[in-house]
Amino acid sequence: MLPEYMNPDQPVGLIDGVVIRRLKVNRDPRGILVETLRTDWTDLYDSANRPFAQTYFSVTHAGVARDEDRWHLHHHQEDRFVVLSGDLVIAIADPRPDSPTRGALNLFKLGESNGDEGQYEVLVPRETLHGFVVVGEKSATLINYPTRLYNPADELRVPFVEADVRLADGTPFSWDLVRQRHAPAR
């Protein structure tokens, strides 16, 4: 069985180095304004150890995983993910040999269906396996504030079968398990 989504207000079992921050949605009759990265947020930004390098956004279609059978891993870069529209589930797994949370898997549901009080930013630490799948009926837009400029040599794609990330019951992780959790009742 898949683990529950991480609760930012009670992050029990959070992988070492992962940060989840609640974002404040400022709503008025004109629309919304949400601050997504500030230099005084020392949990997400530090000019020496966690700098700002670039920004990019991606739009991913409903039901699609960015790499269906592979994890992303960066040796030097950390990612800071925010979902601007739609809904997605981010998975982070910890393969680091010296980590106190080695073997842990965290799932985070980010997006508009969480409502104004449920908007979050997630920091993905270096050397952790990560990826996401879009859940719901529409495409999702994700913005990232990585700590380094994109460098293809720093980004690995690790096949699921090689990483061997498993659920508590021994079932191998797959995006299909996440999709099943979000499938409409029949």
pLDDT tens, N- to C-terminus, the chain (186 residues): 899 999 888 888 999 999 999 999 999 999 999 999 999 999 999 999 999 999 999 999 999 999 999 999 999 999 999 999 999 999 999 999 999 999 999 999 999 999 998 999 999 999 999 999 999 899 999 999 999 999 999 999 999 999 999 999 999 999 999 999 998 776
3-class SS letters over 25-47 = EEEECCEEEECCCCCCCCCCCEC
d(CA 21, CA 82): 10
pLDDT of residue 1: 85
Q: Which amino acid is at 50?
A: R
pTM: 0.94
* Arch. (CATH architecture) of 19-182: Sandwich (2.60)
pLDDT of residue 11: 82
pLDDT of residue 186: 67
Strand arrangement of the beta sheet that strand 120-124 belongs to: 19-22, 120-124, 79-85, 140-144, 56-60
pLDDT of residue 100: 98
pLDDT of residue 120: 95
- Contact indicator for 101, 94 with CB cutoff of 8 Å: yes
